[in-house]
A and B are shown apart, each in its own frame.
Chain A
């Protein structure tokens, strides 16, 4: 196998990793602060994808349409996030994690049927937006330039989250709350307010990443569970609630998937679980995670 083939496979792995990072970072952030594993994160992603498709169709703008649709869809998902957190999750923080997980599982079922009812079971897609319509030659291999857009977006989100978590006052509160919720509350910071905003941020990111997948041509029912399981693999490998962990986890899962597809397409997903199993045996709380207290 020549170097160019490996390299182009590596690059498509990076693009996949970037997309996974977009989705998983929101999941990991929510879990890190709220300690709630949001099963419905993939559903918010799916709903974001379908919404962006409909908004794009409605806007009928050749260049800006896609970007505008993505932002509007993400904002709507943020609003849905407020609804979910405020109406449902808020009442369950005092309960055990099984109830919290089940409540988000119920949301998965509801959103699934909502999408089925509103959009039906077809595959939808948006053409690649300008200026990312063409392909770039990398070592003689055509590489879709839209992949670069996704990679850049992933990097942008990474920088933004890093800035938000490590460089702002809000980030100080986030990290403190992830560490010791009661103490932060005792300092007079309203925890419910923080939780709502974190959940909204997670939902916004999920909606945005859903919109970004639309040009890959994979907007369809079932994308919710497909992505959430890969995201679970990402956060379990990297460590739940850790930003560097999510980055590393996305990279590992993206690359393993890309090379797995090359070796044996049917088993690509199985390779991911093998890596996950190995990590879980050596470090059950993930590479960058911390053991549960």
Chain B
């Protein structure tokens, strides 16, 4: 998949007005949404953060991880266990969730960054399933199949609207940090590794080290997404760590466009709202998702945002010629 590096600081500033407009829409959204759709919006925000963490690996580092849900689930489980079992502080629990996901990410990443392409995808999938099966089978510690219920946030975050604003703040801050990482020299190095790893290596860059750091950052943000979701949903289950969950950010990225920063976010918003709509009349969501993946691969390579970008560029070119 050839992913074009199209973002530049200037265009970001030029596009700044629509970003502000979007943020305003998000700020006033709770006033216009029913509680059901507010919940869906919350889920879309959390899953978008999850998708952004995945796309750091896929869109920017050029490696497809099929085990990202393991870190999402680890973040969620850490928070759930700390809050329900030892009545740990909410904020510290979330930080602990991020830390656990990062540490496990460091261990898993140590093995995975030695590999490229299909091998990377297979190994991340294997580790993801390994972590899932440990959580699933270690009944005494994690609750196994039953998961953990009764994970409550502090009093002032119990209303969905308040929690929504909390999620929005975390999402915006995280997106900003990820944006900064990608546009830092570190981020440019990751992109250059994707474009030509041999050449980057000849420049004196230790590829495995850079990839490991990226892997840990991605795991940390996936863990954060899981950690902030669980207290809102009040429970956690092993299904959070499965390969199906890992497939969702992959799907979101190709739907929205992995080459653009907000591509996976758009993809995840479409998927989450589509999901809640489809569930209204069928339980067969995976088959819908499968068909959607095939449709995007065949008819919309580059994703929706990629498609729009292409059209805009074409028009610009025509204008320039005139």
Q: Which residues of A contact B (CB under 8 A)?
A: 37, 88, 91-92, 95-99, 101-103, 105-110, 112-114, 116-117, 225, 229, 232-233, 236, 240, 266-267, 269-270, 273, 276-277, 280-281, 284-285, 292
Could you jot down 7 A-B contacts, CB within 8 Å?
Answer: A37-B122, A103-B297, A110-B291, A229-B129, A232-B126, A276-B126, A284-B115
Q: In the complex, A167→B221 CA distance in Å? A: 53
Binds A, one of B33-41, B131-139, B192-200, B305-313: B131-139
User: Given A106-B293, A110-B291, A236-B122, A98 and B116 touching (CB < 8 A)?
Assistant: no
The 4 closest A-B pairs by CB, nearest first: A109-B290, A113-B287, A106-B293, A106-B290
Q: In the complex, A266→B138 CA distance in Å? A: 8
| In the complex, residue of chain A having the shortest beta-carbon distance to the beta carbon of B295 | A106
Chain A residues near B293 (CB-CB < 8 A): 102-103, 105-106, 109
Contact of A88 among B1, B134, B294 (CB under 8 A): B294
User: Given A113-B286, A273-B127, A99 and B134 touching (CB < 8 A)?
Assistant: no
A273 touches B289 (CB 8 A): no
B1 touches A98 (CB 8 A): yes
Dominant secondary structure of chain B at its interface with chain A: helix
Task: Scan residues 102-127 of chain B and give those whose CB is less than 8 A from a CB of chain A.
Answer: 111, 114-119, 121-123, 125-127
A97 touches B254 (CB 8 A): no
Contact with A along B128-166 (1 / 0, CB 8 A): 011001100110000000000000000000000000000
Q: In the complex, A233→B130 CA distance in Å? A: 12
A102 touches B297 (CB 8 A): yes
Contact of B123 among A92, A107, A236, A270 (CB under 8 A): A236
A99 touches B122 (CB 8 A): no
Q: In the complex, A101→B2 CA distance in Å? A: 15
Contact of B64 among A88, A98, A117 (CB under 8 A): A98
| In the complex, residue of chain A having the shortest beta-carbon distance to the beta carbon of B284 | A113
| In the complex, residue of chain B having the shortest beta-carbon distance to the beta carbon of A266 | B137
Dominant secondary structure of chain A at its interface with chain B: helix
Contact of A102 among B116, B117, B137, B250 (CB under 8 A): B250
Interface flag for B243 (CB, 8 Å): yes
Q: Which residues of B contact A (CB under 8 A)?
A: 1-2, 58, 64, 111, 114-119, 121-123, 125-127, 129-130, 133-134, 137-138, 243-244, 247, 250, 254, 284, 286-287, 289-291, 293-294, 297-298, 301
Chain A residues near B287 (CB-CB < 8 A): 109-110, 112-114
Chain A residues near B1 (CB-CB < 8 A): 95-96, 98-99
Chain B residues near A99 (CB-CB < 8 A): 1, 297, 301
Cβ of B63 to closest chain A Cβ, rounded Å? 10
Q: In the complex, A269→B126 CA distance in Å? A: 10
User: Given A270-B130, A270-B134, A276-B126, A112 and B286 touching (CB < 8 A)?
Assistant: yes
A280 touches B115 (CB 8 A): yes
B290 touches A107 (CB 8 A): yes
Chain B residues near A112 (CB-CB < 8 A): 286-287
Q: In the complex, A267→B127 CA distance in Å? A: 13
Q: In the complex, A229→B131 CA distance in Å? A: 13
Chain B residues near A232 (CB-CB < 8 A): 122, 125-126
Q: In the complex, A227→B149 CA distance in Å? A: 31
Cβ of B208 to closest chain A Cβ, rounded Å? 12
A92 touches B134 (CB 8 A): no
A229 touches B134 (CB 8 A): no
A284 touches B119 (CB 8 A): yes
Chain A residues near B64 (CB-CB < 8 A): 98, 101
User: Given A99-B297, A101-B64, A273 and B122 touching (CB < 8 A)?
Assistant: no
User: Given A37-B122, A114-B287, A92 and B297 touching (CB < 8 A)?
Assistant: yes
Q: In the complex, A102→B290 CA distance in Å? A: 9
| In the complex, residue of chain B having the shortest beta-carbon distance to the beta carbon of A117 | B284
A292 touches B286 (CB 8 A): no
| In the complex, residue of chain A having the shortest beta-carbon distance to the beta carbon of B2 | A96
Q: In the complex, A133→B117 CA distance in Å? A: 45
A281 touches B111 (CB 8 A): yes
Chain B residues near A284 (CB-CB < 8 A): 114-115, 119
A273 touches B126 (CB 8 A): yes
Contact of A269 among B116, B130, B247 (CB under 8 A): B130
Cβ of A283 to closest chain B Cβ, rounded Å? 11
A229 touches B125 (CB 8 A): yes
A292 touches B247 (CB 8 A): no
Q: Given contact pairs A105-B250, A106-B293, A109-B287, enumerate 13 new A-B contacts (beta carbons under 8 Å).
A: A88-B294, A92-B297, A96-B2, A98-B121, A99-B1, A101-B64, A108-B290, A109-B293, A110-B286, A113-B290, A236-B126, A276-B123, A280-B111
Q: In the complex, A230→B181 CA distance in Å? A: 36
B291 touches A236 (CB 8 A): no
A273 touches B294 (CB 8 A): no
A37 touches B118 (CB 8 A): yes
User: Given A98-B64, A232-B122, A110 and B115 touching (CB < 8 A)?
Assistant: no
| In the complex, residue of chain A having the shortest beta-carbon distance to the beta carbon of B287 | A113
Cβ of A35 to closest chain B Cβ, rounded Å? 9
A91 touches B111 (CB 8 A): no
Cβ of A72 to closest chain B Cβ, rounded Å? 25
Chain A residues near B127 (CB-CB < 8 A): 273
| In the complex, residue of chain A having the shortest beta-carbon distance to the beta carbon of B137 | A266
